[in-house]
Amino acid sequence: MNNRAAHNRWIIWLLLLVGILLQIMPWSSTIYMIKPNWLLLILVYWTLALPNCIGIAMAFFIGIVLDLFSGTVLGGHAFALSIIAYLSLFKFQLIRNLAIWQQLLIIILLSICYDLLLFFIEILINHSITMIPMLFLSSIVNGILWPWVFLLMRQIRRHFWIY
């Protein structure tokens, strides 16, 4: 790895910060159910692209930052993002070699898993169930957006020589 690639790792942190900002951005109640999970998409891309640099600890830290910014239960997003990072790291070579439409299906499944984890954490903490059937609509939106996020992140990675 050359020095230029090592010095450009700050781009990853910047993109994760943009993902957090897009995640906490206020949306209207009608659009909120289909709001894509930008941070999840960006984090999954970087765990697949650079599994030695972006891992479970990074996902946990980013989740804590998201919990602090969004005002949710501390550790909820951190736990869920850590599990998603583990699942994507577990078979990262297989996922990287799949076609983009197959990756789209994996992203939908990871997104559903993330939403279910947050749902179960809410049940454990609040002892209340607020299940909305449209909860998984954002997972489909995440899957639809994956090819564009993947291509954009890959273009950024190649442009800044992040390896």
- 3-state SS, 79-105, equals HHHHHHHHHHHHCHHHHHCCCHHHHHH
d(CA 148, CA 163): 20
Per-residue pLDDT tens over the stretch 83-107: 999 999 999 999 999 999 999 999 9
Q: How far is CA 42 from the centre of its chain?
A: 5
Average pLDDT over residues 75-79: 96
Domain count, the chain: 1
Residue 75: exposed, middle, or buried by beta-carbon count in 10 A (0-12, 13-18, 19+)?
Answer: middle
CATH number at residue 111: 1.10.1760
> If you average pLDDT over every residue of the chain, what do you get?
91
Q: Which domain holds residue 144?
A: 3-159
Contact 22, 42 (CB under 8 A): no
Q: How confident is the model at residue 3 (pLDDT cuts 50, 70, 90)?
A: low
**What pTM was estimated for this model as a whole?**
0.93
Q: How confident is the model at residue 127 (pLDDT cuts 50, 70, 90)?
A: confident
